[in-house]
Amino acid sequence: MANYPEQRRCPRLSTSGLPYGVRFQVLEREIADARLANLSASGCALEVQMAEAWHLGMGSVLETFYLDHPDLPFVPLQASVVRILGKVAGKTQGYALVGVEFSRITDFVGGLIEDHVAASLAEAEP
């Protein structure tokens, strides 16, 4: 099995099964039931129900994007889709994994997210 070097700019935290939420719209349509799969200071991954994923494409701008967790800043972020996995013709059930990149994020907000991820990763280490 090949061992590839990490290509991400920032450490990421797996948020599956933890009390993290996300809220956003695409073309003024609220995307319901999306789940935050992981989080970093530069972006995140979302699990989006297939019925809602059809409204998303590469480069889609996610409007009024909020991370919903008490230890994170609840401010609107500018975000766009950089990757979609699992969205294939004919698939109507399940979810797609959507990679999102934050843009125009302030250093302050980015630092708060980065500190939260680092603290959560350190806390999770055995």
E strands of the chain, at which residues? 13-14, 21-26, 29-30, 35-39, 43-49, 61-68, 77-85, 95-103
Rounded average pLDDT over 121-125: 86
**Per-residue model confidence (pLDDT) at position 54:** 84
- Map out the domains of the chain with their CATH numbers: 18-121 (2.40.10.220)
**Per-residue model confidence (pLDDT) at position 13:** 95
Greater model confidence, 35 or 92: 35
**Per-residue model confidence (pLDDT) at position 89:** 75
Rounded average pLDDT over 26-46: 92
Residue 104 has pLDDT above 70, yes or no: yes
